[in-house]
A and B are shown apart, each in its own frame.
Chain A
Amino acid sequence: MNLKIALFGIAREIVGQSTLDVAAPEGQSAQGLLLALHAQYPALAGLTSLAVAVNNEYAADDTLLHERDEIALIPPVSGG
């Protein structure tokens, strides 16, 4: 399946674009996606934290991803 990932802040700068299309196996988990992206973009692993959001909620490691989901990478937030 193809996942479309939205990127923000330093994650967007590391990847060099604001969205990323990722070919992922069916049943891919949030943690599995992160591991795949860390391998492709090692600088992501140097961040203080990196979360996956699915449909505007923080995903648990074992949350399964679906093609129709709105998925985003969430580097450390710093609002306020």
Chain B
Amino acid sequence: MIHIDLTDQPIDVAAALRSVEADGAGAINTFIGTVRNQSTGRPVVRLEYEAYDSMALHQLRKVAEQAAEKWPMLQQVTVIHRKGTLHIGDVAVVVAVSTPHRAESFAACQYIIDTLKQVVTIWKKEFYEDGDVWVAAHP
């Protein structure tokens, strides 16, 4: 019921949605993270995502397992994160969950993306016309 992937290929969002379909589910909730064209007002040209693959996959699975403990009614969970070079509008991450009722689907989906951003070993570098920055690296 937990599907985790880290890929350097474009994410198939429709396939991710299909992967959480379940007969017992009355709700499917999805978060799709995409590449924005600016960061605090500075135009962004592209992003590069780097991952510590083995730990990222392990931590992603742990986050999904924690969600399944907090919301035992979770039917299916899929988390797919992209790595490599991404351009404006590209999909960087997809979280999809299915539950019997909608309230838990919103909560579980938000928990997974929020926790992913805190613990999963993936790093994003923003490239501008005149430089680049590792996001969150410095206070």
Contact = CB atoms under 8 A, between A and B. Distances in A.
A57 B57 CA distance: 11
Please report whether the interface of chain B is mostly helix, strand, loop or mixed according to DSSP: mixed
A70 B52 CA distance: 12
B55 A77 contact: no
Interface in A58-80: 58, 70, 72, 74-80
A56 B137 contact: no
Contacts of A70: 54
Given A6-B52, A53-B55, A56-B59, A79 B137 contact: no
A76 B133 CA distance: 13
B120 interface: yes
Interface residues of A, number: 21
B63 to A, nearest CB: 11
Contacts of A8: 50-52, 121, 123
Interface of A: 6, 8-10, 13, 46-48, 53, 56-58, 70, 72, 74-80
The 7 nearest A-B residue pairs measured at CB: A79-B122, A9-B123, A78-B135, A10-B134, A80-B117, A56-B55, A78-B124
Interface of B: 33, 49-52, 54-56, 58-59, 81, 92-93, 113, 116-125, 134-139
